Chain A
Amino acid sequence: MPIVVERVRKDFGRHRALDDVSLTIEDGTFVTILGASGCGKSTLLNLIAGLLTPTKGRILLDDVPIMKPGPDRVVVFQQPWLYPWLSLRDNIAFGLRMRRAAGIDWGRVDEVIGIMGLKGFEGHHPYELSGGMQQRVAIARALVMNPRVLLMDEPFGALDAQTRHRMQKFLLELWGKIGATIVFVTHDIDEAIMLGDRLVVMRSRPGRIAVETRVPLPRARHWDMTLDPAFLYLKRQAMAVLGE
């Protein structure tokens, strides 16, 4: 069942962050939400996460309105926000530990550690890891929960260019393996088009959806595709909306 955003408005005091936003996100798709800073794209993500509630309208998951955060919709933020007092392994197991009743499936934890290329660092603490590795731990911490939806709020925004590139490639491979729905917020046009199945471009003040389109590129993405006419066409469209 898809995530359905129905005519959502979000006000912060007198400031209207989002107005009349409607969007349907099909299961298993990779949706990128592109917009300038302050256009409300993170607000939209936090609404889907359940960290915020809409002022008007509603958001449905399996036809049930989203009221609060839950481990079926894990968020990866721009900063990794790891727990500095926990080792890498315990950070990744954090969500499993929070599940009352059930014990921790350490096999699953170690499997995710392997997938994320973090083997050999299990006992390290976050401050002993590089920024790129910390963000991989944050993604692993989300993945281990087997979330239906992975919400990513500019997860590579704080990384340097090379690391960001590697992480984007890695995320695409990962998505091919896990098949979860990914909602990925970014202000980087190339990143948005390169990663997404579907591209949502937002306009600011108040935040509204300007363009919603399929990305007509083959799924096996390559950085050569940034020269593909279809890529350039989309990029031009997005730039027009963003006013660059």
Chain B
Amino acid sequence: MTVSPEHVCNQALAIDASPALGPDVPDQMPSVGADDIPDALETAPRGGIPWHHVSRFTTATVVICAVILWQVISDLHVFPPIALPSPVAVWLAFIKLLTKGYGGHSLVDDIVTSSLRIAIGFGGAVLAGVPIGLLMARNDLVFRVIDPFLQFGRPVPPLAYIPLLVVWFGIGELPKILLILVGTIPVIIIGTISGVKATPILRVSVAQTLGASEAQIFCHVILPSALPEIFTAMRVGIGVAWTCLVAAELIAADQGLGWLVQYAGQALQVAIVIVGIIVIGILGYAMELTIRVVERRVVPWRGHG
């Protein structure tokens, strides 16, 4: 994966710092002398419309308009109701899924099942991937041993492993967790390595002249320096993990959100399929948000050098 941290960061900040702020926003202050000039430019009131409120309002408006449009289209019977149920029908399906469930278990069961698989698979990938990445970055021999597997594994879409995993391990929990692990771990390892390699050399020199040993430099300088990139990798990785899991559940499972979508689809229960898709989307987004919150606590200096 070659997703630059800036890129992911920009995506993450897209809502707060939208380029549509308008022409009255002053440019970044020049760095020369920035030191002594008070923050007059930055704190000066922009005047006029509070743009970030407008952009939040815009998001809500767009969502509401989309739902209304959806309702109108389904009311007009442009498509048969079985193919495009109305938002109301989807809402009712959601309530039914919550209370009565579908295919033997409730929506909550499916959510818990899928979330547990993700937690174990992704947690395992981080717990194994970060130390492996650190070792590979520090030790040339370890790098040479593991790198070929990584280079081979990267271009293979994780979904291609599903048939193999089913043959080997059936449709239980193990193959799904393994698939998440196999799909996510390269992202974590590569992010960790690049985090270590991105440690500014002078940051290390400073520690050396202050008398730090190799081990101390590793713990107190290199590891914290690598953390921002490790978090970027985790954010990319959680998306990959979620995709892997849902795909695995689509193909071979008897429980979970992917299974729900697949099972309902076969019975032409499109409203349930749509509920499943929305829940999958929301959960995936929530996981990324969770990591972002943890990241903000663990690496508050991110973006500040």
The reply to whether B208 and A141 contact each other, CB–CB distance below 8 Å, is no
Interface residues of A in 59-76 (CB under 8 A from B): 68-71, 73-75
From A85, A97, A98, give the contact of B301 (CB < 8 A). Answer: A85
A127-B210 CB under 8 A given contacts A85-B224, A160-B33: no
The reply to whether B210 and A81 contact each other, CB–CB distance below 8 Å, is no
B209: A residues at CB distance < 8 A: 49-51, 69-71, 73-75, 151
Give min CB distance, B271 to chain A, whole Å. Answer: 49
Asked if A226 is an interface residue, CB under 8 A from chain B, the answer is no
Q: Once bound together, how far apart are the Cα atoms of A6 and B186, in whole Å? A: 51
B32: A residues at CB distance < 8 A: 160
Q: Once bound together, how far apart are the Cα atoms of A125 and B303, in whole Å? A: 13
The reply to whether B35 and A132 contact each other, CB–CB distance below 8 Å, is yes
Q: Once bound together, how far apart are the Cα atoms of A126 and B208, in whole Å? A: 20
Closest to A71 in B: B211
The reply to whether B207 and A98 contact each other, CB–CB distance below 8 Å, is yes
Contacts across chains A and B counted by CB atoms under 8 Å: 90
Asked if B10 is an interface residue, CB under 8 A from chain A, the answer is no
A160-B35 CB under 8 A given contacts A69-B208, A145-B210: yes
Interface string of B35-46 (1 = CB under 8 A from A): 110000000000
Interface residues of A in 133-151 (CB under 8 A from B): 141-142, 145, 151
The reply to whether A94 and B200 contact each other, CB–CB distance below 8 Å, is no
B227: A residues at CB distance < 8 A: 85
The reply to whether B221 and A83 contact each other, CB–CB distance below 8 Å, is yes
Interface residues of A in 185-208 (CB under 8 A from B): none
Interface string of B207-235 (1 = CB under 8 A from A): 11111110010001100100100000000
Asked if B7 is an interface residue, CB under 8 A from chain A, the answer is no
A74: B residues at CB distance < 8 A: 209-210
Q: Once bound together, how far apart are the Cα atoms of A160 and B35, in whole Å? A: 8
Asked if A163 is an interface residue, CB under 8 A from chain B, the answer is yes
Interface string of A94-127 (1 = CB under 8 A from B): 1101111000000000000000000000000111
From A71, A77, A163, give the contact of B210 (CB < 8 A). Answer: A71
Interface centre among A84, A94, A99 (most CB of B within 10 A): A84
Closest to A98 in B: B212
What are 16 A-B contacts defined by CB distance under 8 Å? A69-B208, A75-B205, A83-B220, A84-B301, A84-B304, A85-B224, A95-B210, A125-B304, A126-B305, A127-B304, A130-B34, A130-B36, A141-B210, A151-B209, A160-B35, A163-B36
A50-B209, A130-B36 known; 20 new pairs, CB 8 Å cut-off, are A51-B208, A69-B209, A74-B209, A81-B200, A81-B202, A83-B220, A84-B305, A85-B227, A94-B207, A94-B210, A95-B212, A98-B207, A99-B211, A125-B301, A126-B304, A141-B206, A142-B210, A160-B33, A160-B35, A160-B36
